[in-house]
């Protein structure tokens, strides 16, 4: 129960000396009845600010990140408050000399890593259009059937696990019901054919599609959603 009403919190000296922590901690405690105990050793902290973790705000020449350790409820409540609209407005409202010191985090989107594939990307472009264009947008500026609720190749290229998703797409729903990879997947049952137009590929064709996807620029979806 004590863990529900306190949080061991670490902030670098630059933030402490700026007065930010003395400004935000009482406002959080007044709302939640959770006491913020400032500790001097990061190893003892349940919640800490620093150069790694979730980007929280920018100021004093850098972007400050938050790390949550463990599952203590008090620490979780403080983390939720800091990432909420109320917490963000409180941080950005800190203006000891009349001008705000801290702003929304300036996060530079890292460029997606280029991955060398053995397949022919040009061949893969055509295959992606003919084999996948029924449901997905595979090229910019080219009309396709597509399905509104189905993500484009550019959106999926931005996923951290895009290579795994694409390389094994034929075992993921709903693809397994209508996809055949020669010498890999079992044939469709004779008494239960594919319910829609089947997608039939060889491993070389799949490798070509992967090579094409690897050179796509991922869609910029902005910063992650924040919610209360």
Residue 55, Ramachandran bin (φ over 0: left; ψ between -120 and 50: alpha; else beta): beta
Give the mean pLDDT of 203-226.
Answer: 82
Higher pLDDT, 146 or 56: 56
Distance CA 130, CA 151 (A): 17
Angle at 13 between CA 48 and CA 224, to 5 degrees: 40
Q: pLDDT band at 148, cuts 50/70/90?
A: low
Tokens describing residue 111? 């460029």
Which ranges of 19-167 would DSSP assign to H, the alpha helix? Answer: 20-32, 73-83, 85-92, 121-127, 153-157, 162-167
pTM for the model stands at 0.48
pLDDT at residue 22 in the model: 94
Determine which of 68-72, 154-158, 217-221 has the lowest per-residue pLDDT on average: 217-221
pLDDT, tens digit, for every residue of 36-80?
Answer: 999 999 999 999 999 888 889 999 989 999 999 888 899 999 999
The edge-to-edge listing of strands for the beta sheet with 54-59 is: 35-38, 6-10, 47-50, 62-68, 54-59
Of 92, 24, 26, the closest CA to residue 58 belongs to 92
Domain 2-92 part of CATH 3.40.190.10: yes
């Amino acid at each position: 129960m004590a863990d529900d009403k306190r949080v061991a919190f670490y902030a670098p000296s630059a933030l402490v000396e700026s007065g930010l922590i003395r400004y935000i901690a009482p406002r959080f405690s007044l709302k939640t009845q959770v006491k913020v105990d400032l500790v001097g050793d990061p190893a003892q902290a349940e919640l800490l600010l620093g150069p790694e973790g979730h980007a929280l705000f920018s100021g004093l020449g850098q972007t400050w990140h938050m790390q949550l350790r463990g599952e203590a409820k008090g620490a979780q409540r403080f983390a939720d408050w800091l990432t909420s609209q109320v917490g963000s407005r409180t941080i950005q409202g800190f203006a000891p000399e009349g001008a705000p010191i801290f702003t929304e985090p300036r996060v530079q989107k890292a460029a997606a890593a280029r991955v060398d594939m053995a397949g022919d990307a040009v061949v893969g472009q055509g295959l992606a259009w003919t084999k996948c264009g029924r449901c997905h947008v595979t090229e910019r500026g080219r009309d396709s059937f597509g399905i509104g609720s189905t993500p484009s190749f550019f959106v999926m290229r931005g996923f951290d696990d895009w290579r795994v998703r694409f390389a094994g797409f034929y075992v993921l729903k709903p693809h397994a019901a209508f996809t055949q990879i020669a010498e890999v997947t079992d044939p469709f049952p004779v008494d239960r054919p594919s319910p829609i137009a089947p997608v039939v590929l060889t491993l070389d064709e799949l490798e070509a599609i992967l090579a094409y996807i690897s050179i796509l620029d991922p869609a910029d979806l902005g910063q992650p959603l924040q919610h209360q």
